[in-house]
Structure 1
Amino acid sequence: MVNPKPDLGGATSRGVVLDLIRTRGPISRVQLATATGFTQATISNVVRQLTTEGLVVESGEKKYTGGKPRVMLTLNPRSRYALGIQLGADSTTYVVIDVRGDVVGRVREHGLRDALPGDVVPLLADRAADLLETLAIPRSVVVGVGVAAPGPLDLDGGSIVGAPTMDAWRGFPVRDAVQEALGLPTVLDNDATCAAVGEFWGGSTAESLAHCTVYMGAGIGAGIVVGGSVYRGASSNTGEIGQLRTRTPTGAVGTIEDVAAPRAVAAAARAAIQAGRATSIRLKPGDDPFDAFSSVAVAAAHGDGLARELIAESAEYLADAVLALADILDVDSVVLAGPSFAVAGPLYLLAIQHRLATEFSARQQHPVQAALSQHVVDAAAVGAATLVLQRELAPRSFAIGRFAVE
């Protein structure tokens, strides 16, 4: 059975066909026409254009339906590439992905911390150029660069408005600076939004009606995809769940980040150790808070009592925020992504799964699937590169509809 023709959201026929071949291939021209409602002539013209550009190839596979066998089409994954750069106080990541969204190379370094943007951008350009050279990928097949950064952002101006963890970057025109340094088209977006887009493009949440990706690096945010389209709000600064107000253990009013983010967990660990709590956690006086959090996460993964207590407390606060977002948006899918979930992610996931299963307001109507990202640490960088691919190859909103192909 074939679903009705989907809402194409202003997409070009080229973009719709490329999306279908990417997500449903190998697929025949007849199946493309049936799924989209386009005429056979339109499909033939679009496929001819895509094959001429090298984006689509005939797979060699044929589908026999009783008459003339249908030639199947598939994406040529190495025909184009995109570069993603994930900026953060905790880490900086560079990835290169192919058209299918598969990561073909990555480099990860320490975060920006208090580094000045004018000093950092030339280094970003050098690292990115080195990665492309190492992978033997010519610039001619790189469609552009996506930069993921913590919010709030000014997407029109291409700058970071005021990320608490990267104060030195406030107002800096990062998008234009990276574009000038690398000489490639550049887009800037929120790290959580990028991570959510990457999950959708990669197919793990493509069937979700209302999805959020919860991203935890130095801070905490959420990228929201509803009906296949990114929900951006009035200024493209949605999902700042780290700024939700809550009561801290002392009874004071704070934010979710004040009690659940890596810096808070690291501070609580230091206080507990100084108070004489027995633990295998070893923190040095000069440890960066993100390195300290990693030590706590590793200890928790190995069963240390104090470490598990600290991670569990952080996870419960985060679950409060996720549950609130799930109730407001009536989501059916949640994915956890970001460097801070690299080690202790399964512990956070269990807490969030339990809360959603027992307290989500619409649980009698449908469950909420919760999982770790397929690219936990690199999710924002992969998503940033995905944004470039989508903009350059299939410009449209992210709604590709519920195509059903016989």
Structure 2
Amino acid sequence: MLLNIKIDNYKGVSNNINISCIASNKIKHSNNDISKISEKTKILKNICIIGSNASGKTSILNAIETVQDFLLFPHRKSISNNKDFDSFIKRMTPEELKKFLIDINTLKLGEQNNLRSKDKSTIVLELFIPKRKNNISGIYTYTLMYKSNYKESGVLLEKLEYKKNFDSKKNEVICLANNIIESEITTTLLYQNNNSKNQEKNIDDRIKYYNTFFNEMIKHVSYLDGSEGVDLLEAFNKHGNKFVELCNIADDKIIDITLDENEKKPKILFWNSKKTFLTFPQLSNGTRKILVIGSIILDALEKNNLLLIDEIELSLHPTLVNFLINLNSSKDFNHFSQLIFTTHSPFVAFSMTNDQLYYINNKNNNYYISSISNAIKNNIITKDKNPEKAWIEDLLIKNPDLNKIKHFLNN
């Protein structure tokens, strides 16, 4: 689960922003809205980000994906099963290896903001990683810094810190690497049995921390941008009646689900009467989206995963969007699934509590992001205005200019 996200100079994010997923003690939450990691610390299961077009809200999700991309940078991974190539790499000195990797470098990290193209980009993720098999649970903070010339000069900084409890005052630095072509964490994991590449003392003590963080980011974080697929057959076999209920919520004309096993790959049939059925491609866009996202959320609830969804409301009735959000909150505070999503919809946004809702203000080049809670605290929203009224009066986000729209239509 994400505790904090800090991003500076990344794609549409021009200035330093901070999103906290820690629940406010001043807001009463149900046990299903939060996850408890200590007696005093509660994490919000749902975070909503609302903003205008080109405000950078998608960039926030992309930044998390960039960390995944860096951890998965393919050079070592793709050749790790090729013994000849593997042996060739191992014989190289550090200088030879760096030059070789620069020459074949295909790494793609998110670009800098157009207004600050020569400055460094910074992404900082603070996570609570729950207890899983063979991992080290606790609070992990990962920092990635790079400039536009990272392919030639390397990533400026990769750092991983750890503390056992959220309230601990001191972080232990687990990994610190500068000017690197590949992730030090991934490289160490791939070559953990190669003494020539892992001469640092106590590296064995760090492997478990590296493994814990790597597995959490790669196996338990999913970014859904609308093209994400899911194995519905697996979801049906796994969740059974729950999946059938999900189908009926998505389209109340679906009364039953069966499998057609006459073909090479079994196919799900969605029955809308006793005599007629539809296949998945024949369902409406909205129904397909509910089934895909709903199935992924059901899986996330079971595995304590983090889901990132861009523009969650696309192709969906607002009530069904709220259903998906509430589905992620359908288990108590001892579960650690989390949903972070963007939206243009005020209907969706204003169903969230004040600490769950972040808005991006990019009016007049005064770029910042704030929760509604902080907006009230800083008197951006006064006590006589609710968030809906503040939104209508353009106090929160940069709404489309109605005068420009009228002028365009009338000329």
Shorter-chain TM-score tier? under 0.3
From the CA coordinates, give the structure whose radius of gyration is larger.
Answer: 2
Query: What TM-score, normalized by structure 2, do the two folds share?
Result: 0.26
TM-score if structure 1 supplies the norm length?
0.27
